[in-house]
Structure 1
């Protein structure tokens, strides 16, 4: 089984071009199902299983309190695994062939307002030590580029081209895209780079954003940073890097940006993924419409 999983990981990395983070998550889910199968069905391998065994695992996850979207993600890992087994002729039938995903109620992502973002960026201007300058730039880049948290963390020194005013971002499935840097943000990038240069041994650090000890950032640090800054400026329940990405897209659309352009900036493979952001823009449009249309204040029937 271990050899099969290693081959599966190699397939995802080399052929499917999945990120290391995604491959690790898929492996974890497959191993988790393997352990469940061994405990409840006394079966050491999961290459040859039936759907009822998989369903038992899914039921146990739901009963354990796992939400539908997380269960569906684990199913996606298993689907990829069994597709790999089919492709390599290790099985003849995919046990998940007729599986239907659990229904997920989509919560509307509420973006930060322009005032809230402005308040945070203004508050972040206080202090010029390395960590404060770095944190301020992280907020600036997440908001002005719409990049994902993982993309920001993986950003390397050679990916920042100030001469051309662009960032080279490595997105999902190792797909590269170029994002322009606003002139105002470019100045802050230069200031951060000057601060970064003062760190001992910095020449050997390839990642653009680092800790004061030269270590690359992690997911939780960036999440806590965004949550902390926006916690002082916003009463919204969710305050995360993804909400900043959502805010970036919404503010562009609210100010007249073309949907296709926003799609390219976000690195989406299809317009369907980008259209989720038009909901908030439509709400904003309705506000403007109701406020501006003369019939809205007409009391005559």
Structure 2
């Protein structure tokens, strides 16, 4: 894996983010259109990309799927403890500790994770990311809601799990296990629709970042060490542990890179819905997203070259 290729890919993604940022500033995109674009990516192009990815994946077995699923569950069981430790280490105010824990656990797998994984490991690796994303959703719509809402009781929202991303992930797993060959017309259509995910998702991130006042971003000093720990030290720690259990370099790479993703935009969505600290969530998304342009190539260079 050539680091120059990865750096070039991240620069390209960054340039597309800038295009989205400019599009928002000149009035081509706005907050309402961002929501519609978000719905388009989540409900149409991303599911199509997942379907396209399984057509490119070498037929495997049930063991591989179960291995990724179980390891993903273990990761999401461990991440809350990392989040608690980080919050205490950085002396985060008590009222924001739950949000810091949420941001540490639930990274930007959908909008940024898929495009970055595809750029680094190829489209076939997206199938493995989709399995991890299923576990992400299970935890996000239960423990994630519990963290942001401040509820005294942990509840589970099954309705939130019934979405095109989960449905097509399950379909992809079935296709993978049964080794069913999709008709060429379906493969080509899903590939064509799915190919729009990366540019749309990156422009959406840029447009969303444009909604955050720049002055508010630079004055929160705590976010900078948090970003360094979350996006460099934490992935390296998980890589060191996971390499003893995972032989497949692609699977290991996918899991580590997903852990290294910036804070997910779902943090802002949940804060809006459950009256959390939207300002802090927005600033964290801004800093960690911009930092990822540098941290991802550094990680790939350190761990996979």
Which structure would you say has the larger Rg?
A: 1
- Of structures 1 and 2, the one scoring higher in RCO (CA 8 A, sep 6+) is 2
TM-score over 0.5 (shorter chain)? no
After TM superposition, the score normalised by the length of structure 1 is 0.27
TM-score, normalization by structure 2: 0.26
